[in-house]
Chains A and B, each alone.
Chain A
Amino acid sequence: AAGSVGSVVRRFLAEYGSGTSSRLKVLDAYLLYVMLTGALQFGYCLGVGTFPFNSFLSGFISAVGSFILGVCLRIQINPQNKGEFQGISPERAFADFLFANTILHL
């Protein structure tokens, strides 16, 4: 069983490395970064308590929000999904991403 999990993971990584365009990989790296930041914040809060609560909330929600917007952008940019996003060009998706991020961080 451990072996099959390991082989599945290895297979996935190989396919991912070859199948996804570099643009998407860049985005994925960004998403990974955001997720790690959010997780670390949450872990810190669990560790040392919720003071100051405001700071924890703002940091965590910012991380989560950015992650979600990044995911949206990735979905919209992916050429394999072009059928579902007829009127939205990648440039438009990127512009939406920027705008939404601005509003989130306001």
Chain B
Amino acid sequence: MMLLLLPAITMDCNQECICLLSLTPGRRLCLVAALLLLLVGAQALAPSHHLTARDLARLRAALERPFTDLQAAYYSIVGLHSLGLRVADEKAACNFVKSHVDSSSVDSLFYAAQSIRVLSGCEVTISNETRELLLAAVSEDSSITQIFHAVGALSSFGLPLASQEALSALTARLSKEENVLATIQALETASYLSQQADLSGIVEEIEDLVARLDDLGGVYLQFEEGIETTALFAAAAYKLSDHVGTEPAMKEEQIIQLMNAIFSKKNFETLSEAFSVACAAGSLSHNRYHLPVVIVPDGPAAVSHHQPVLRLQVTNVMSKPLTQASVKLDYAKSASTKATVLQQTAFTLSGEVFELNFMNVKPASGYYDFSISVDGDNRFIANRVELKVKVSTEVGITNVDLSTVDKDQSIAPKTTRVAYPAKAKGSFTADSHQNFALSFQLIDVNSGADLIPHQTFVRLHNQKTGQEVVFVAEPDSKNVYKFELDTSERKTEFDSASGTYTLYLIIGDATLENPILWNVADVVIKFPEEDVPSTVQSKNLFVPKPEIKHLFREPEKRPPTVVSNTFTALILSPLLLLLILWIKIGANISNFSFAPSTIVFHMGHAAMLGLMYVYWTQLNMFQTLKYLAILGGVTFLAGNRMLAQKAVKRTH
């Protein structure tokens, strides 16, 4: 968007305005102007969400559910009223409200009062006790919700209310309750109070609340409490601003972001959510300060010779057409060449839609950037949009020449002209000493200008094997498309498969209304014999592949069992030797005293050895340590005793 505005500025200045190197005073001024407008352009955020007719129907259906209780009745009745709709059966609604009101509850009285005020022909008398109850609720000791409901009920019943007292109670309460919902309810309450009271303190809360909104990606602005709170805020802010007569302190961009957030919710889980969105929609369509404008094309934003008129729907947030507005095209530029084709033209109102016949200026096919502005009411915001419009056309192929060109250039090329959509008679041959060539031109049928579409393909399809090869035809400097098939160069693409190929020409583009698939001719291609492949295998990717067998890890080489067994016997031989030596030396157990500690020691020691074996076969370290601690402790004590006795015996 900013880049679009920059050319707009340079249209007034010289083309060299953008160049920073040469800054003469005149050009410097240009650049400053460009920068300023860049900043302005940067704030032009377009509304992304609004209540379309279908959304409105859904919202209405959500609000028109049968009443379950008084609060539901309030939401439905007042919600529908905000949308400018009436309840289906007003008498039944009135009776429902009157029968369900609870005179001892301030909330119930509030819901009843608001509903009755909106319904026509609904009257109720208020007893003195009810009035006293409501007046007593307006005090510093009640919560803000209580004060809000009491003030709202008193005001809607038409009962006298001490505004100054209410205001002071409200301000005192606000300093204690800092949450967002309470502040919003304070705004609503203030809108019922007399204008004589000094409501500026409450009005300032609007700015504080705006500061608390979360910016989501620069597109949405909402409270972290959710859409419902955001919608209630929008409704309350405008209600209070209208009442007090001061413009709410919100920037245009913020209002659009609020709008995007509130109307992004298309399905309403609860009745209160539907009610809040309805109130927001109502307040954003009827207030004294800001009216967001929604500009959407009616159908696709495309024009062509069959459909030369660009239709726009210019509505408010509730999709109600703003037939009083004047819609103007500021400029229409080609997206590719940036040349302005039209500027300062007004749209005409036809029914509820604004129209402009764009084909009158005979634009070339392609995309155009439109800048549209809506005026007529200085409350309009978001009234400038950028729109991308497509201009389509039809393509025609002319001067199609098929020829076989001799490589040695000894024979003159034979050229055959073909007209679309006929097919060339006879077939053409391309082999080792002649190439096949194709040339054609593409023109815009309506304007006669040369066209360069995105897709200009030449497709060769082998009838026998089903192979197809696609080439791109390139235009030369005079916009004549040429394609040449040299068999020696293109061997690999064809897999050297000789045979008859059908030639198709494929022309396509987004701005063409008639894409073309044309069977032009048959071409017999002969490849040199030495490269004939065994068979042309159709590269079928979807057959099962050869199975991979899993190779298990081969076990390591082991020595033969005989060797291992021999060695095991060998290992035991030193033990034998040991026993023999011991006997020879004369080791004996003659000193073995059968004292209890000795026995215990030996038993414990044997048990520990047994535990080692069990550890090897069954236990893990932790269990072993546990048992070892027990056994070891016992053995240690016994052993200590035994050895001490031995020591005593020795020293004696």
List residues of chain A with CB under 8 Å of any chain B CB. Answer: 22, 25-26, 29-30, 32-34, 36-37, 40-41, 44, 48-49, 51, 89-92, 94-95, 98-99, 102, 105-106
Contacts and interface: CB of A to CB of B under 8 A. Distances in A.
A95 B640 contact: yes
A48 B558 CA distance: 8
Contacts of A106: 612, 615, 624-625, 628
A34 B493 CA distance: 79
A48 B612 contact: no
13 contacts: A22-B586, A32-B574, A32-B578, A37-B574, A44-B571, A51-B556, A51-B557, A89-B647, A91-B644, A92-B643, A94-B643, A102-B628, A106-B624
Interface in B629-647: 632, 636, 639-640, 643-644, 646-647
A25 B647 CA distance: 20
Given A33-B577, A40-B574, A89-B647, 17 more contacts: A29-B578, A29-B582, A32-B581, A33-B581, A34-B574, A36-B574, A36-B577, A37-B571, A37-B575, A40-B570, A48-B559, A51-B556, A89-B643, A90-B647, A95-B640, A98-B605, A106-B624
A26 B647 contact: no
The 7 closest A-B CB pairs, nearest first, are A91-B643, A33-B578, A29-B581, A36-B574, A48-B559, A26-B587, A25-B585
Chain A interface SS verdict (over half): helix
Contact of A51 (B558, B582, B646, B650): B558
A91 B636 CA distance: 12
Contacts of B80: none
A95 B53 CA distance: 97
A36 B574 CA distance: 6
B563 interface: yes
Contacts of A94: 643
Contacts of B559: 48-49
Residue in B557, B632, B643, B647 whose Cβ sees the most chain A Cβ within 10 Å? B643
Contacts of A29: 578, 581-582, 585
A51 B556 CA distance: 7
A15 B113 CA distance: 125
B608 interface: yes
A106 to B, nearest CB: 7
A4 B179 CA distance: 108
B647 A32 contact: no
Contact of B647 (A41, A44, A91, A105): A91
A106 B556 CA distance: 28
Interface in B562-593: 563-564, 567, 570-571, 573-575, 577-578, 581-582, 585-587
Contacts of A25: 585
Contact of B571 (A30, A41, A99): A41
Contacts of B605: 98
Contacts of B650: 90
Contact of B639 (A36, A44, A98): A98
Interface string B374-407: 0000000000000000000000000000000000
A94 B632 CA distance: 15
Most A CB atoms within 10 A — which of B581, B644, B646?
A: B581
B576 to A, nearest CB: 9
Nearest to A33: B578
A64 to B, nearest CB: 14
Contacts of A34: 574
B647 to A, nearest CB: 5
Contacts of B556: 51
Given A32-B577, A95-B639, A105 B644 contact: no
Contacts of A44: 567, 571
Contacts of B640: 95
Contacts of B567: 40, 44, 48
Given A26-B585, A29-B581, A51-B556, A105 B643 contact: no
A102 B582 contact: no
A63 B313 CA distance: 97
A40 B557 CA distance: 21
A102 B632 contact: yes
B647 A22 contact: no
Nearest to A94: B643
A13 B240 CA distance: 119
A58 B582 CA distance: 26
Contacts of A26: 582, 585, 587
A31 B573 CA distance: 14
Nearest to B576: A33
Nearest to B585: A25
Contact of B575 (A33, A89, A92): A33
B268 to A, nearest CB: 70
A26 to B, nearest CB: 4
B517 to A, nearest CB: 71
Given A95-B640, A105-B612, A40 B571 contact: yes
A25 B571 CA distance: 22
A40 B636 CA distance: 34
Contacts of A102: 608, 628, 632
B79 to A, nearest CB: 80
Contacts of A22: 585-587
A92 B567 CA distance: 37
A99 B635 CA distance: 10
Nearest to B645: A91
A97 B605 CA distance: 13
A31 B651 CA distance: 28
Contacts of A36: 573-574, 577
A34 B640 CA distance: 27
Contacts of A99: 636
A94 B639 CA distance: 10
A38 B559 CA distance: 20
A37 B573 CA distance: 9
**B574, B632, B639, most chain A CB atoms within 10 A:** B574
A92 B647 CA distance: 9
Nearest to B571: A40
